[in-house]
């Protein structure tokens, strides 16, 4: 969830995501691939890295999650 919250604020590359959610490169890559397969994030290739951003589905999910929190 924290990855989605971070990406909701702005598109980020994995190196910046690791600052928000410290974890091993392999773990972050795994979680991002799960989010991509679930259609919650998309990627854009930039020279030698990728930028991740939330999809419309993820934005609806996060809006629902915000409403569900006390």
> pLDDT tens digit string along 35-44?
999 999 999 9
How remote is the C-alpha of 62 from its chain's centroid? 11
Structure confidence at residue 47 (pLDDT): 86
Q: Answer yes or no: is pLDDT of 70 > 80.
A: no
Q: What pLDDT digit, counting tens, does each position of 26-62 carry?
A: 999 999 999 999 999 999 998 889 999 999 999 999 9
Domain chopping of the chain, boundaries: 2-68
Structure confidence at residue 69 (pLDDT): 59
Topology of the domain comprising 2-68: Arc Repressor Mutant, subunit A (1.10.10)
Structure confidence at residue 66 (pLDDT): 86
Model confidence, pTM:
0.86
CB-based contact 17:3 (threshold 8 Å): yes
DSSP 13-38: -HHHHHHHS---HHHHHHHHHHHHHT
């Amino acid at each position: 969830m924290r990855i989605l919250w971070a990406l909701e604020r702005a598109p980020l590359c994995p190196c910046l995501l690791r600052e928000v959610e410290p974890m091993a490169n392999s773990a972050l890559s795994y979680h991002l691939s799960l989010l991509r397969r679930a259609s919650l994030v998309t990627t854009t290739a930039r020279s030698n890295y990728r930028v991740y951003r939330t999809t419309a589905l993820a934005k609806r999910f996060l809006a629902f999650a915000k409403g569900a929190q006390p």
